[in-house]
């Protein structure tokens, strides 16, 4: 339930209208609630504020906030376009969910609605002495919030859409997902062993799996005495004839209604999301590096920075989780496969090795980064780092023309091999 709620809230956070709409409703309520100050016992002690003074202040706010809101939307759209063109269109979700920009837009729109409602109410004698004073105080508070959020937003909009800021947002999104999956490698279920001979369950729509409601699958399995093995993790595409899960039952084939309920536990969409797909963050960072390495951009420095980000993320994945008391799986009737470490390395480094093969500084940085991962003491991580280092070196052999550059790269490649930790049999 918590995972499903988080998924829904994250999708709402990517809609620009949600937060402004909530603030608009709040603004209308606040403007009308000021009327209750007339019924306070101490309202007769409030200063007697004239309608004209409050009207003028509200008129100033209403005349300026709509312009500010339009200006904010224009600036945000320019920043989104910049992020898509300088990085990759897959970063749009993390850029549009920027809280500071949404808070600023919501404040401007909310202040405009508040001022309009306040003007209509005060010109129709909705308030008496206490209400006018309360409205004045609220108006001053709203005005202060507008100024405060505007100053914060100016600082944020100067960075929003810039490549460095976009890379940081993608790295934070990927880190959050990796930490969550590292803590629960099988999403609270038991590990899937593969080779399940149960009844296949398919999703008719060709799309990406965005979320799996494991708790709902457990409830269905308990209710109908089933065992369910998930076949596709979030981030995978559902194709015709490819099952998303297998259902094992001693009672024969489950009815169509039950199969439909199981299918409904798999939320699919036309694009991948960062929420439960750790590989997607690595893919997006790799795409940004590939674009930076293209002849049209020719920015190896960005690729080198992203290699550092990828090393930080994979080091987090390889580090042991915090000490916690061992408990059994939360969902013992559902089996979920673990992420493949080989897939994580392929998503992170393969494209950079291919597109940066002709840049000796990028290749040397990549070899040193892989050497650092190999030295972490994790045998599986070391083996994958060595395999990626071999692949990168083979790409570079085909692209580098100077023997001296190849010799420098060979020396860096040797560092990876010397730090590989052998697997224990």
Per DSSP bridges, beta strands 208-212 and 266-269 are: antiparallel
The DSSP line for 145-201 is HHHHHHHHHHHHHTTTT-HHHHHHHHHHHHHHHHHHHHHSTTTTEEEP-S---SEEE
Give the model confidence (pLDDT) of 210-247 as tens digits.
999 999 999 999 988 889 999 999 999 998 888 999 99
Mean pLDDT calculated for residue range 15-44 = 82
pTM of the entire predicted model = 0.83
Query: If you average pLDDT over residues 3-22, what whole number do you get?
Result: 79
Percent of the chain with pLDDT over 90: 33
The pair of structure tokens assigned to 288 is 């940004």
**322: helix, strand or coil:** coil
How far, in Å, CA of 106 to CA of 126, rounded?
A: 26
- pLDDT tens-digit map of 277-319: 999 999 999 999 999 999 888 899 999 999 999 999 999 888 7
Q: What is the pLDDT of residue 198?
A: 82
What would the pLDDT profile of 402-414 be if each residue is shown by its tens digit? 888 888 888 887 7
CB contact set of 343 (below 8 Å; sequence gap of 6+): 279
Q: Rounded to an integer, what distance in angstroms lies between the CA atom of residue 47 and that of residue 193?
A: 75
């Amino acid at each position: 339930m918590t995972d499903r709620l988080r998924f829904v809230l994250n999708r709402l956070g990517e809609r620009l209208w949600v937060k402004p709409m909530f603030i608009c409703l709040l603004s209308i309520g606040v403007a009308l609630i000021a009327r209750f100050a007339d019924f306070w016992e101490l309202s007769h002690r409030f200063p007697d504020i004239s309608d004209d003074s409050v009207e003028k202040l509200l008129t100033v706010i209403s005349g300026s906030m709509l312009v500010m809101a339009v200006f904010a939307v224009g600036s945000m759209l320019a920043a989104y376009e910049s992020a898509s063109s300088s990085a990759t269109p897959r970063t749009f979700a993390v850029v549009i969910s920027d809280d500071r920009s949404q808070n600023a837009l919501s404040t401007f729109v909310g202040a405009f609605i508040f001022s309009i409602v306040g003007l209509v109410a005060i010109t129709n004698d909705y308030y008496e002495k206490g209400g006018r004073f309360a409205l004045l105080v609220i108006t001053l508070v709203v005005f202060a919030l507008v100024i405060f959020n505007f100053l914060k937003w100016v600082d944020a909009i100067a960075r929003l859409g810039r490549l460095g800021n976009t890379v940081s947002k993608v790295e934070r999104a990927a880190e959050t997902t990796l930490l969550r999956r590292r803590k629960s490698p099988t999403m609270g279920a038991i590990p899937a062993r593969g080779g399940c001979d149960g009844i296949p369950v398919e999703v008719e729509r060709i799309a990406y799996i965005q979320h799996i409601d494991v708790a709902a699958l457990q409830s269905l399995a308990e209710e109908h005495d089933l065992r369910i093995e998930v076949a596709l993790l979030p981030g995978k595409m559902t194709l015709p004839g490819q099952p998303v899960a297998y259902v094992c039952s001693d009672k024969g084939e489950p009815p169509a209604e039950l199969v439909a309920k199981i299918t409904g536990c798999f939320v699919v969409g036309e694009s991948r999301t960062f929420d439960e797909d750790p590989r997607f963050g690595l893919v997006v960072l790799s795409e940004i590096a590939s674009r930076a390495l293209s002849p049209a951009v020719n920015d190896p420095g960005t690729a080198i920075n992203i290699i550092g980000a990828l090393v930080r993320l994979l080091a987090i994945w390889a580090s042991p989780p915090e000490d916690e008391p061992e408990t059994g799986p939360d969902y013992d009737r559902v089996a979920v496969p673990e992420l493949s470490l080989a897939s994580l390395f392929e998503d992170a480094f393969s494209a950079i090795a291919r597109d940066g093969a002709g840049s000796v500084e990028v290749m040397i940085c990549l070899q040193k980064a892989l050497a650092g991962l190999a030295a972490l003491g994790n045998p599986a991580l070391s083996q994958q780092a060595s395999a990626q280092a071999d692949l990168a070196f083979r790409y570079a052999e085909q692209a580098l023309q100077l023997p001296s550059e190849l010799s420098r790269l060979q020396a860096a490649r040797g560092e990876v091999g010397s730090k590989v930790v052998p697997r224990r049999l």
